[in-house]
Each structure stands twice: as C-alpha cells, then as structure tokens.
C-alpha cells in the first residue's frame, strides 16, 4: 500500500496539536490540523475513549478526504470511579478552562487519601471515512493527583499529575521526557509500529 503522505490531526486543542506535531516530526508525513480545512468539531457523546476517538477521526476524514488521526484522552482518578474520564476537558462545565477543571478535581478530592490516577489516550487513525480497519492504539500513564501544582509546562491536568517514579509532574518534564512517559507518547509509539507494518510508514529519523 502507498505510504501515507498527509495526515489530518483531528483536534481543535492547540496545545494537543503541538504535542502531536512534535511526536510525529520524525515521520516523513505532512501533518495538517483539521482547522486548515475548517472541519467542524465532532460530537463526543460516547462513554468510551475509543468511540469518541473514532468519531473524531471519521469526521475529519469525511470533511477532508484525507487520512485522519484523532485521540480521545483524559485523566481517570480511581477514588472518583474513573472520573473525570472522557469528560476531562469539560469537567467543570462545557465552557470552563484548565484552571476550572483542576480546581474542581482538587475540590472533589478534598479529604480523600487515595490519590492514585492514570491518564488514558486512545488514538484512532482512518484512511477514509468508512475505513473498516482503523488503527487503534492505547496508552496509559500512571501516577497520582497532588494538591499543589508544580511546573509551568504541559496542559490540562499536568501540573497536578505526579509521575511517582520520577517524582515530577507532567508540567515539570522536558518535552522529550514527557513524550516517553506520557499516555499519548506511549499510544503513538504503538500506532507507529502498526503504521509501519500496514502501510510502510517508517521513522525517518532512523534512515
């Protein structure tokens, strides 16, 4: 099969887009944000990361006619029954900010001793809107939620998410370090292996 030469990233999140651009940089693929085609945001009514990711990828492919990659991701706090989960981006309300979402999370965990949590990312890549064999890849990043934010990098819940093994929050890590540890980085690594096997897409940095 002809290698993918262009790939639409189905997200309206500018910070997430930059992370994808950086993680996909080693590939010989032109990465294009869906905003370049004025693609409308896809509804995300589903209760699983997988279904939402597929919905977003198919939506972008339908409007652009190009292979599209989407992710659905969030933080799952064990003491909160897995919440915020798929609602991570809107935990404090549809039009709230990262600061509002984090404030609600810390408030909900007040007095709770179990702070264990994990980030989940599910990536879905489709060649076209009706691709019957999308590539699906999942990654998880385990840690715990802290009360006081640390670091100036990252986005979302990163300042409050502590990688216990490293003793650093997602907002304290260097970009390459975070890419190797994060849920999205792990999922993308799996995705690239499958892309290479199916489509002949390879890591340009190794050539």
Show which residues are catalytic: 72
Enclosing H/E stretch for 140:
strand 135-145
Enclosing H/E stretch for 188:
helix 183-199
DSSP line for 22-74 = HHHTTBS-EEEEGGGGTPPPPP---SSHHHHHHHHHHHHHHHHSS-EEEEEEE
Peptide bond into 3 cis (omega under 30): no
């Amino acid at each position: 099969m002809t290698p993918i030469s262009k790939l639409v990233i189905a997200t309206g999140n500018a910070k997430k887009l930059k992370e994808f651009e950086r993680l996909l940089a080693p590939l010989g693929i032109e990465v294009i944000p869906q905003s370049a085609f004025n693609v409308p945001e896809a509804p995300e009514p589903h209760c699983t990361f997988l279904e939402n990711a597929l919905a977003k990828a198919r939506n972008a492919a339908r409007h652009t006619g190009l292979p599209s990659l989407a992710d659905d991701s969030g933080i799952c706090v064990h003491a909160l029954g897995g919440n915020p989960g798929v609602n991570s981006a809107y935990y404090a309300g549809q039009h709230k900010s990262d600061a509002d979402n984090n404030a609600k999370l810390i408030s909900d965990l007040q007095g709770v001793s179990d702070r264990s949590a994990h980030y989940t990312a599910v990536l879905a890549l489709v060649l076209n809107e009706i691709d019957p064999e999308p590539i699906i890849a999942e990654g998880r990043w385990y840690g715990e939620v802290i009360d006081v934010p640390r670091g100036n990098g990252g986005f979302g819940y990163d300042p409050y998410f502590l990688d216990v093994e490293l003793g650093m929050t997602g907002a304290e890590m260097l970009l390459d370090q975070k890419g190797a540890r994060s849920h999205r980085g792990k999922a993308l690594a799996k995705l690239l292996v499958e892309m290479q096997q199916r489509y002949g897409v390879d890591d340009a940095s190794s050539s």
